Structure 1
Amino acid sequence: MSLLYSLLIGAIAGWLAGKLMKGGGFGVLLNIVIGIIGGIVGNWLFATLGISLMRGVIGDILTGAIGASAILFIAGLFKK
């Protein structure tokens, strides 16, 4: 169930990050992967900064979307 939860949250976070970052989408599958990695990056970033977002599904989606947006931003720098 944990893997399914991570995939679902990653898919939503990746899609949301793709919408937030203009031209930052890489397709459904890669957005899911970026969303999952973004969740890891977002958790690390917020823990390092001492920031705590909401708990639960909404907090996980926001954390993943912010982390995935950061990844998409960095990827966009190399894409040009």
Structure 2
Amino acid sequence: MLGLIISLIVIGLIAGALARLLVPGRQDMSIVATIVLGIVGSFIGGFLGYLLFHKDGDEGFFQPSGIIGSIIGAIIALLIWQAVGNRRSAVR
């Protein structure tokens, strides 16, 4: 269990940092927010991988993915976060 938590944090940091590098614009995020972005991206990537390829059907559709799926999921999560943030700032 401890190994899973540590690997989620490390993969989350790598995926979140790479997503922030690949998405243009400035993101005001702390290191903890970057890790959370990567972890959320990992679950988004796992969900998308399950939907597209129907792999790991025994574990269900809510599962962590590998590093590439995590990066893709983190990019999607970051783009959604920016869209919601831009809409929120336009309302004020």
Category of TM-score, reference length = shorter chain: 0.7 to 0.9
Matched, 1:8 2:10: yes
Secondary structure of 2:66's counterpart equals helix
Q: Which runs of 4+ in 1 moved over 3 A?
A: none
- Which residue of structure 1 aligns with residue 83 of structure 2? 77
Tell me which moved more, 18-27 or 59-68.
18-27
TM-score normalised per structure 1: 0.82
Distance in 2 (alpha carbons) for counterparts of 1:2 and 1:23:
32
- Which residue of structure 2 aligns with residue 19 of structure 1? 21
Per chain length, whose mean CA-contact separation is higher, i.e. which structure has more relative contact order (CA < 8 Å, sep 6+)? 1
- Please report how far the alpha carbon of residue 79 of structure 1 lies from its aligned counterpart in structure 2 after TM superposition: 1.4
- Which residue of structure 2 aligns with residue 33 of structure 1? 36
Structure 2 gaps, min length 5: 56-64, 87-92
Distance in 2 (alpha carbons) for counterparts of 1:9 and 1:67:
12
TM-score normalised per structure 2: 0.72
Which residue type is aligned with residue 23 of structure 2? M
Distance in 2 (alpha carbons) for counterparts of 1:73 and 1:49:
21
- Please report how far the alpha carbon of residue 78 of structure 1 lies from its aligned counterpart in structure 2 after TM superposition: 1.2
Structure with the higher helix share, 1 or 2: 1
1:26-57: CA deviations, max 9, x gaps? 232101001001100111011101177xxxxx
Which residue type is aligned with residue 22 of structure 2? L
Which of 44, 49, 52 is the aligned partner of 1:46? 49
Distance in 2 (alpha carbons) for counterparts of 1:24 and 1:13:
17
| Aligned CA-pair RMSD | 1.8
Distance in 2 (alpha carbons) for counterparts of 1:64 and 1:22:
18
